[in-house]
Amino acid sequence: MSNSMFDHKLSGPSLAFQPLYLQVADYIKQLIVERRWVPGEALPSEFRLAEEFNVSQGTVRKALNLLTDDKIVTRRQGVGTFVSEHTAQDALFRFFPLQADGKGADLPKAELLSVELCPAPQDVIDALQLNKKDKVTKLVRRRILDNEFCMSETIYLPQSFFPDIHQSSDIPHTLYHYYQTKFNQTVHKTQDSIKAVLADETDAKLLAIKAGEPLLLVSRITESIEGKRIEYRLSRCRSDHYHYQIELD
Amino acid sequence: MSNSMFDHKLSGPSLAFQPLYLQVADYIKQLIVERRWVPGEALPSEFRLAEEFNVSQGTVRKALNLLTDDKIVTRRQGVGTFVSEHTAQDALFRFFPLQADGKGADLPKAELLSVELCPAPQDVIDALQLNKKDKVTKLVRRRILDNEFCMSETIYLPQSFFPDIHQSSDIPHTLYHYYQTKFNQTVHKTQDSIKAVLADETDAKLLAIKAGEPLLLVSRITESIEGKRIEYRLSRCRSDHYHYQIELD
DNA sequence: AAGTGGTCTAGACCACACT
DNA sequence: GTGTGGTCTAGACCACTTA
């Protein structure tokens, strides 16, 4: 007799059927979101988890491999399974497709220009599915690659996910790591939409270029592990020495 | 006693070690490249393949699931495992990230403007790693979305992979399907590099816009299943009603 | 009804990393 | 040495499709 929530022989109506390993994966993911294990921490071994969940070790393995594909955990042979964390590496390359022409990826830096709590503009409301009266913190940054200004960013963060972030005095330039450690929001994926626009006077000043030059405008909606839209970001990028690079398969 | 090429107990020096399922996956992939099974055709069942290769059915399964992740085969429960083929769906959406603003994806059409065999320009030589004297077929097309010209494309195809394609009189607008069926070149992945540029007079004429408007310039290097660079493509896209959309995770 | 892929289990052994 | 994840196998049963 088993009282495990994973006893598939007793599971509900067949319409709700989900393979055991998916249920296990979802449950482990939920436990990570609830910080039973925090980013960087090791999970119990496959056998321990199997025992806890009353499933076989092979089923736990399949679940953990799924979470590995989703980059939610990282596995190292002989060492263990760890909750993924955004490192400098990760934050700067995994979600930063802008590259200098003809070079390998370089370490970008960011300069914070302003922080402000304000009512959400209509485009932000639409993008983040907010309510009319929700407030957002608006950050403006300028990024530097190879000692040259390469892009300006305007970042909107809903007050509900980032309470009081506008009062912080120590916002670092590795934002995604900061989201994870201070606000328990782990960036999981982004949806980027790219257009070409002409630089206006503001762009010209910020990026030290002439108005009328072509820029890449990247609109990003950022989603957390929990599936919430946690960030909307507009990046205006010089395109003369840089390009946005992406692989499709 | 076994004489199978997959007998791992007799496998070579440990430096060359590869898990059995990887060897099986690579071998099946090779057989597909060599057209033992052609796109759309069913492979033998897991048990038959396991018997042929002298491995267990579970190992074949793991290999086939890897090839499924790579989109080299498609599996359907109760039916079988099939070599993937580029359908209209596939060719038009999987590798076509340009979308009309505020709409779902629409079916793009293409209009072929010119076909020409010529010596490869230097940028094409670099992109496709050709030799100085190699020739390429150059195609120029114009694409239409929602009854409006949305982009012009210049496509370079090495003579070695596409012999005599310049003499074809029936080049369809679903190119990737055509590459697969007529030249045994299956597109596997692309590397896209995106810049913003200003429309010149040629762009203005082709796209029915004004010179000086901002355009997206997408440079694409296309790789086949065999890992060869088979296509270089320069797309110049209107950006007023369209955007390039991509998901990162 | 027969055949396919999908799930789940159990157990053996291997490769790797830390102590 | 001990414990971890990685590979490989074998077998039972389930779900789906086609005939």
pLDDT of A16 higher than 80: no
- Same domain, yes or no: A35 and A93: no
Angle between helix A46-53 and A57-69 (nearest 10): 110
The residue among B66, B83, B100 that closes a domain is B83
| Alpha carbon separation from B116 to B62, B129, B157 (Å, rounded) | 45, 20, 10
Note the pLDDT of residue A241: 92
Is residue B203 assigned to a domain? yes
How far apart (Å, rounded) are the C-alpha atoms in residues A197 and B245?
A: 16
> Which among A245, A246, A232, A243 has a CA at the least distance from the CA of A153?
A232
Is residue A1 assigned to a domain? no
pLDDT category of residue A240 using cuts at 50, 70 and 90? very high
- Same domain, yes or no: A105 and A224: yes
Is residue B249 assigned to a domain? no
pLDDT of B105 higher than 70: no
Tens-digit pLDDT profile for residues B106-116: 678 899 999 99
pLDDT of A3 higher than 60: no
- Same domain, yes or no: B103 and B169: yes
Lowest mean pLDDT among A3-7, A217-221, A238-242, B175-179: A3-7
The pTM of this model reads 0.91
Q: How far is CA B240 from the centre of its chain?
A: 28
How far apart (Å, rounded) are the C-alpha atoms in residues B107 and B180?
A: 20
pLDDT of B16 higher than 60: no
Other C-beta atoms closer than 10 Å to the C-beta of A249 total: 13
pLDDT of A175 higher than 80: yes
Contacts of B249 in chain A (CB under 8 A): 70-71, 188-190
Is residue A111 assigned to a domain? yes
The residue among B83, B111, B145 that closes a domain is B83
Note the pLDDT of residue B104: 64
- Same domain, yes or no: B165 and B199: yes
Amino acid at B172: P
Question: What is the CATH classification number for the domain harbouring A136?
Answer: 3.40.1410.10
Is residue A233 assigned to a domain? yes
Note the pLDDT of residue A11: 37
Is residue B3 assigned to a domain? no
Minimum CA–C1' distance nucleotide for B47: C4
Contacts of B95 in chain A (CB under 8 A): 248
Note the pLDDT of residue B70: 95
pLDDT of B34 higher than 60: yes
pLDDT category of residue A18 using cuts at 50, 70 and 90? confident
- Same domain, yes or no: B78 and B174: no
Å between B165 CA and C8 C1'? 52
Query: Are A245 and B214 an interchain contact pair (Cβ–Cβ within 8 Å)?
Result: no
| Alpha carbon separation from A176 to A92, A97, A187, A211, B180 (Å, rounded) | 9, 15, 7, 31, 42
- Same domain, yes or no: B125 and B218: yes
* Strand order across the beta sheet in which B242-248 lies: A109-119, A135-145, A148-158, A229-238, A214-224, A187-198, B242-248, B98-100
Cα dihedral value B45, B46, B52, B56, nearest 10: -160
From the list A214, A244, A248, the residue facing B198 with the nearest CB is A214
On whether the CB atoms of residues B134 and B158 are closer than 8 A, the answer is yes
pLDDT of A14 higher than 50: no
Tens-digit pLDDT profile for residues B106-165: 678 899 999 999 999 999 999 999 999 999 999 999 999 888 999 999 999 999 999 999
How far apart (Å, rounded) are the C-alpha atoms in residues B171 and B138?
A: 13
- Same domain, yes or no: B97 and B182: yes
Contacts of B71 in chain A (CB under 8 A): 249
pLDDT, average across residues B67-80 = 96
- % of chain B at pLDDT higher than 70: 92
Is residue B2 assigned to a domain? no
> Which among B28, B146, B173 has a CA at the least distance from the CA of B86?
B173
- Same domain, yes or no: A136 and A151: yes
Lowest mean pLDDT among A1-15, A125-139, B181-195, B216-230: A1-15
**Collapsed DSSP state (helix, strand, coil) of residue A61:** helix
**Collapsed DSSP state (helix, strand, coil) of residue B79:** coil
Question: What is the CATH classification number for the domain harbouring A36?
Answer: 1.10.10.10
Total count of domains within chain A: 2
Residue B25's domain comprises 8-83
Tens-digit pLDDT profile for residues B74-103: 999 999 999 999 987 777 789 999 988 876
- Same domain, yes or no: A99 and A201: yes
How far apart (Å, rounded) are the C-alpha atoms in residues A31 and B125?
A: 52
Other C-beta atoms closer than 10 Å to the C-beta of B33 total: 15
Count how many residues are written for chain B. 249
- Same domain, yes or no: A119 and A234: yes
Find the closest chain A residue to B95 by CA distance: A248
- Same domain, yes or no: B166 and B124: yes
pLDDT, average across residues A49-76 = 95
Is residue B43 assigned to a domain? yes
The residue among A83, A117, A144 that closes a domain is A83
Beta strands B98-100; A80-83: pairing state = unpaired
Tens-digit pLDDT profile for residues B44-55: 999 999 999 999
Q: Among all protein residues, pick the one whose CA is nearest to the C1' atom of D6.
A: A77
Tens-digit pLDDT profile for residues A86-135: 987 777 789 999 988 876 666 788 999 999 999 999 999 999 999 999 99
- Same domain, yes or no: A234 and A127: yes
